[in-house]
């Protein structure tokens, strides 16, 4: 990519869009590249790509011939930024990346792009581990996916464990096993940790699993069937039964999709349905000839977008951070299909086919995806209407100026002050915004264990200090005027608690200079029964709502979700703390020495209480190391 960049400075007096664009056009080359159109606040309005920038941008120097959406965009443009690229396909990939990062209001935006789960066979251990993975691919190994949901991954993992007997335990558990675990007993692991299988034989299982997940399922099944037959002929019936069970598990994996893969090993299917100004795109994932699930997306679009245009922009953004299969099937053909095919091929380093089948089994799959998209959009539109009524009712109950677009609900969780966690969940016009949930590990050492007010103070200070930083940077003002965008600043705070918590929150917000965010306390009523909640608003008498009021039930849902998230985060922290072994903190003690000490003394507590001469008798522990271990624990105890 060449670094040529042109930016037309804004004049003090705003000029009309076509005039600004005409001035920029004079310096534009006839090269491929990407252009950005900016408004008077430097917000990016639109990102586009072109095979020849000068030929593409010239169309924006006039208003005639454009939709109302494009006309509004042109008139709002006061400056442009240009980046040239070597090829048109490179421009397409850059455009998709910039759209996802900058979220321009006039582009088709992919929303809910959280990381998909994958299956990972790790390569950083003598006995590779089979596990579920989500997020950055930092660990060495082979990744297979994507799967549409964690549930789909878990189901596949259960069957793969039965088929290939690969371990799922962590390296730490593996290093400290002295006898096979339950998974070995139920024939879901071959137990390489205790030598029940030789590492060379375990390696063969790993190879078979990789071949199966890479799409060579038929070859793997044929190989297992032959080994079962050979074992049976040699009257090794127990071994033959093992191969039989593994074959049955593989059959279960392949039969779990429910939809025929139409003769291809891997493909993604995209189907778009538009109705009432809203859009749903259903994506189905097929790998190794199996259906690995589907997911619905609801991209933000303008009503003037056609289905083909939506698909083209959506797919380019979709594969910006995901591997692409060899086949992509789409419900609507679009003009840039061959360019997209070329760009995805260059990025993947292999041939990619993007097709729009019109008949046959593949078209049947497309029709199935379209039916799912239509049904999903119908459900979402019905839910949206209900959501609007609930938010309007909430605004009326709490005397808000308008229905809130962002509600933040806070709760704390701890056991007698230990493993204390503060939690924030977020609710918007379309439901829960889980990507913006936050947990706060209580860090203050001055808070008395169990002091809920102190914990709430710390959570609020940290949450709104972060918000004020964004405000100082001007990021809150750069959200644009898009009514569908999720605001960063809440319109309402719900606090799990009564007058005390509400008073504490009010003090914190006042100290931070925040006086424009309403907040309400939600306290359980008599006998802590749901339906008798009391609401606390500063300057008002506490009140309740009719137990049958939908708004009452709605606030219970909001409060309960915060409670669920807080409890879950607290339990995870407590489990992590309980799982810690004191020996993990000792410098120079690795997995081998730790295992030797635990085998010799039986527990970490016994190691801590052992004399230096006793520790020095353990294999691998020198006198100097024994003294270091003793000093580590006894110095700490005395400090």
CATH number for 582-638 (one of 1.20.120.140, 1.10.150.20, 1.10.240.10, 3.40.980.10): it is 1.10.150.20
Q: Which pLDDT band holds residue 251 (cuts at 50, 70, 90)?
A: low
Give the residue with greater pLDDT, 204 vs 633: 204
Tokens 């703390």, residue located: 577
Residue 244 scores a pLDDT above 90: no
Percentage of the chain beyond pLDDT 70 is: 85
pLDDT at 348: 87
More confidently predicted of 613 and 9: 613
Element housing 210 (H / E): helix 199-213
Place of tokens 């804004």: 10
Mean pLDDT (the chain, rounded): 82
Q: CB of 593 within 8 A of CB of 620?
A: yes
86: its two tokens: 């070597």
**Mean pLDDT value of segment 167-187:** 89
The CB density around residue 375, as the number of other CB atoms within 10 Å, is 14
Question: Over the stretch 195-240, which tens digit does the pLDDT of each residue have?
Answer: 999 999 999 889 888 887 776 666 666 777 777 777 777 777 777 7
The DSSP code sequence of 147-170 is: -SSHHHHHHHHHHHHHHH----S-
Interior angle at CA 400, CA 397 and CA 401, nearest 5: 135
Model pLDDT, residue 160: 82
Residue 478, pLDDT > 80, answer no
DSSP 40: T
Tell me the per-residue pLDDT of 268-320, one tens digit each, with 9 for 90 and over.
999 999 987 788 999 988 887 677 778 888 887 777 788 998 999 899 889 88
Which of 227-231, 251-255, 348-352, 403-407 comes out lowest in average pLDDT? 251-255
- The closest of 254, 256, 192, 260 to 224, measured between CA atoms, is 254
* pTM beyond 0.75: no
Higher pLDDT, 463 or 259: 463
Cα(412)–Cα(566) distance, integer angstroms: 6
Q: Compare 534 and 246 and report the one with higher pLDDT.
A: 534
What percentage of the chain exceeds 90 in pLDDT?
21
What are the structure tokens assigned to 7, written together?
């930016």
Best CA proximity match to 403, nearest among 492, 476, 488: 492
- 427-451 pLDDT, tens digit per residue, is 988 788 888 899 888 877 666 666 7
Alpha-carbon separation of residue 334 from 354, 356, 373, 593 (angstroms)? 10, 9, 19, 62
Beta strands in 501-598 (DSSP E): 519-523, 534-536
Predicted pLDDT of residue 590:
81
Q: Give the model's pLDDT for residue 355.
A: 93
DSSP letter string over 313-370? HHHHHHTTSS---SEEEESS--TTHHHHHHHHHHHHTS--EEE---SHHHHHHHHHHH
pLDDT above 70: residue 189: yes
Average pLDDT estimate for 471-478: 64
Sign of CA dihedral 442, 444, 445, 447: negative
Query: What pLDDT is attached to residue 285?
Result: 87
pLDDT of residue 101: 82
- 519: confidence class by pLDDT, cuts 50, 70, 90: very high
Query: Where are the strands (E) in 73-196, listed by range?
Result: 79-84, 118-122, 130-133, 141-144
Pick from 422-426, 440-444, 579-583, 610-614: least confident: 579-583
Give yes or no on whether 5-102 and 398-556 have one common fold.
no
Does the structural domain 5-102 have CATH classification 3.20.20.10?
Answer: no
Q: Which residues of 392-405 are buried (b: 16+ CB within 10 A; e: fewer)?
A: ebbbebbebeebbb
- For the cut 60, the answer to whether the pLDDT of residue 527 exceeds it is no
Given a contact cutoff of 8 angstroms between Cβ atoms, the answer to whether 296 and 376 are in contact is yes
Residue 11 has pLDDT above 60, yes or no: no
Whether 95 has a pLDDT exceeding 70, the answer reads: yes
Q: Are 454 and 444 in contact (CB under 8 A)?
A: yes
What pLDDT, on the 0 to 100 scale, is given for residue 10? 41
pLDDT digits (tens, 9 = 90+) for 59-78: 999 888 888 888 889 998 99
How does pLDDT run across 28-52, given as a tens digit for each residue?
888 999 999 998 888 889 999 999 9
What confidence score (pLDDT) does residue 208 get?
84
Band of residue 480 on the pLDDT scale cut at 50, 70, 90: very low
Residues 51 and 85: beta-carbon distance below 8 Å: no
Q: Break the chain into its structural domains and give their ranges.
A: 5-102, 118-255, 267-308+320-378, 398-556, 582-638
Question: DSSP state, 495?
Answer: E
The CATH H-level (homologous superfamily) assignment of domain 398-556 is UvrC, RNAse H endonuclease domain (3.30.420.340)
| Preceding peptide of 146 cis, ω within 30° | yes
The 10 Å CB-count burial string (b at 16+, else e) for 341-352 is bbbbbebeeeeb
How close are the terminal C-alpha atoms of the chain, in Å?
Answer: 59
Position 257 scores a pLDDT of 47
pLDDT at residue number 229: 78
């Amino acid at each position: 990519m060449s670094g040529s960049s042109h930016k037309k400075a804004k004049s003090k007096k705003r000029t009309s869009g076509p005039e600004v664009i005409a001035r920029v056009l004079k310096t534009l080359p006839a090269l491929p590249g990407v252009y950005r159109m900016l408004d008077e606040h430097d917000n990016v309005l639109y990102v586009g790509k072109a095979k020849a920038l000068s030929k593409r941008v010239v169309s924006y120097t006039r208003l005639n011939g454009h939709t109302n959406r494009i006309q509004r965009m042109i008139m709002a443009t006061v400056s442009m930024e240009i980046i040239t690229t070597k090829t048109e396909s490179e421009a397409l990939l850059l455009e998709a990346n910039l759209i996802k990062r900058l979220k321009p209001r006039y582009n088709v935006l992919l929303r809910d792009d959280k990381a998909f789960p994958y299956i990972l066979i790790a390569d950083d251990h003598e006995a590779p581990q089979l596990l579920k993975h989500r997020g950055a691919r930092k660990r060495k190994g082979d990744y297979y996916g994507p799967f549409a949901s964690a549930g789909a991954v878990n189901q596949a993992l259960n069957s793969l464990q039965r088929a290939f007997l690969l371990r799922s335990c962590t390296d730490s558990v593996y290093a400290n096993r002295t006898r096979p675990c339950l998974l070995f007993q139920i024939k879901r692991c071959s137990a390489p940790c205790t030598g029940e299988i030789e590492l060379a034989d375990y390696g063969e299982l790993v190879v078979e699993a990789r071949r199966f997940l890479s799409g060579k399922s038929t070859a793997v099944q044929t190989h297992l069937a032959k080994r079962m037959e050979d074992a049976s002929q040699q009257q090794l019936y127990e071994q033959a039964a093992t191969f039989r069970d593994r074959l049955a598990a593989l059959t279960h994996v392949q039969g779990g999709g429910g939809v025929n893969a139409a003769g291809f090993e891997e493909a993604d299917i995209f189907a778009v349905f538009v109705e009432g100004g809203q859009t749903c795109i259903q994506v189905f994932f097929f790998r190794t000839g199996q259906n690995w699930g589907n997911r619905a997306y609801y991209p933000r679009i303008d009503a003037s977008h056609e289905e083909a245009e939506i698909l083209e922009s959506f797919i380019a953004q979709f594969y910006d951070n995901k591997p692409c299969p060899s086949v992509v099937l789409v419900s609507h053909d679009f003009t840039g299909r061959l360019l997209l095919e070329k760009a995805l091929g260059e990025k993947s380093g292999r041939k990619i086919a993007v097709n729009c089948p019109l008949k046959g089994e593949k078209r049947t799959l497309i029709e199935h995806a379209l039916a799912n998209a239509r049904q999903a959009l119908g459900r979402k539109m019905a839910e949206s209407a209900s959501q609007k009524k609930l938010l309007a009712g909430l605004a009326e109950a709490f005397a808000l100026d308008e229905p809130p677009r962002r509600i933040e609900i806070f709760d704390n969780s701890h056991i007698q002050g230990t493993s204390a966690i503060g939690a924030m969940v977020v609710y918007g016009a379309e439901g829960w915004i889980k990507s913006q949930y936050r947990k706060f590990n209580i860090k203050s050492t001055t808070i008395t264990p169990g002091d809920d007010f102190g914990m709430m103070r710390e959570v609020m200070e940290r949450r709104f200090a972060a918000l004020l930083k964004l405000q100082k940077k001007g990021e809150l003002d750069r959200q644009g005027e898009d009514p569908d965008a999720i605001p960063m600043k809440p319109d309402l705070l719900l606090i799990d608690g009564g007058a005390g918590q509400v008073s504490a929150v009010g003090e914190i917000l006042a100290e931070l200079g925040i006086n424009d965010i309403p907040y309400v306390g939600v306290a359980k009523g008599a006998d802590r029964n749901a339906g008798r909640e009391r609401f606390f608003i500063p300057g008002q008498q506490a009140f309740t709502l009719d137990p049958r009021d939908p708004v009452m039930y709605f606030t219970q849902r909001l409060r309960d979700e915060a409670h669920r998230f807080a409890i879950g985060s607290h339990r995870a922290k407590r489990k992590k703390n309980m799982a810690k072994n004191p020996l993990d903190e000792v410098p120079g003690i690795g997995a081998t020495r730790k295992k030797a000490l635990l085998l010799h003394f039986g527990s970490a507590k016994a190691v801590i209480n052992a004399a230096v001469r006793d520790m020095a008798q353990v294999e691998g522990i020198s006198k100097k190391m024994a003294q270091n271990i003793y000093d580590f624990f006894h110095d700490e105890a005395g400090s």
